[in-house]
C-alpha cells in the first residue's frame, strides 16, 4: 500500500526488492479526491488531533486501497507475528477476515524477532534499514517513531494515543 506518507527508507527497500527479484510490485494508492478532501477540510496532520481523525486518515490511505488489493482473491498472506502486540498474540495463524471476506494466513506467526532476523540474513532478503534504527513496526512517516529499549513493538506507532488502540484497521477481523 502506497499511502503517500511513507519513509524514504521504505522506497529504498521497495527499489532493492525490485532489483533483486526482478518481479513487479503492484502498488495500491489512496483515492486522490478523498485525500484532497480530507486535507482541505482538516489539514495535513489532523490524525494527531483524535483517534477518529487518525482512523479516518488510515481508512482513506490504507483500508480502502487494501480492499481493492484483496478484491477477487481467496487468501491474504501477512507478516503478522504473535509477539508484536497483545492484540496480535490472541490471533490465530490462519483465520477468516470477516471485514474483507477472505482467508488470512500468517505463516511466520510463531516466529520470534530473532528468527526473522536470522532468516533475512541467511537468505539475503532486502529489509527496511529503519529496523536497524529502532523501528520494529513501520508505517507512515508522521505516525511512526523509533521505540525506546523495553517498549512494546508497536509503541512507536501512533505514540500519542492510548496504548490499547494501536491498530489501524488493516488487521481487524
* Consecutive H or E run containing 94: strand 94-97
CA distance 84 to 112: 9
**Active-site hit among 58, 140, 143, 168:** 168
What does the DSSP assignment read for 120-133? HHHHT----GGGGG
Label residues 39-70 b or e (16+ Cβ within 10 Å = b): eeeeeeebbeeeeebbbbbbebbbbbbbeeeb
How large is the C-alpha radius of gyration of the chain? 16
User: Would you call 57 a catalytic residue per the annotation?
Assistant: no
Cα–Cα distance for residue pair 104/102, rounded to 1 Å: 6
Active site residue ranges: 168
Amino acid at each position: 500500500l502506497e499511502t503517500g506518507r511513507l519513509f524514504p527508507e521504505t522506497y529504498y527497500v521497495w527499489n532493492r526488492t525490485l532489483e533483486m527479484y526482478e518481479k513487479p510490485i503492484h502498488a495500491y494508492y489512496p483515492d486522490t479526491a478523498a485525500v484532497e478532501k480530507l486535507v482541505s477540510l482538516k489539514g495535513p496532520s489532523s490524525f494527531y488531533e483524535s483517534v477518529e481523525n487518525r482512523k479516518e486518515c488510515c481508512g482513506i490511505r490504507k483500508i480502502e486501497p487494501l480492499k481493492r488489493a484483496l478484491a477477487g482473491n481467496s487468501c491474504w498472506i501477512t507478516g503478522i507475528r504473535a509477539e508484536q502486540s497483545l492484540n496480535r498474540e490472541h490471533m490465530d495463524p490462519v483465520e477468516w477476515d470477516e471485514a474483507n471476506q477472505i482467508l488470512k494466513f500468517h505463516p511466520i506467526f510463531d516466529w520470534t524477532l530473532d528468527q526473522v532476523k536470522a532468516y533475512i540474513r541467511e537468505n539475503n532478503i532486502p529489509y527496511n534499514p529503519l529496523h536497524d534504527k529502532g523501528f520494529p513496526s513501520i508505517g507512515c512517516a508522521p505516525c511512526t517513531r523509533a521505540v525506546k529499549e523495553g517498549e512494546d513493538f508497536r509503541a512507536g506507532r501512533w505514540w500519542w494515543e492510548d496504548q490499547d488502540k494501536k491498530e489501524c484497521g488493516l488487521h481487524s477481523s
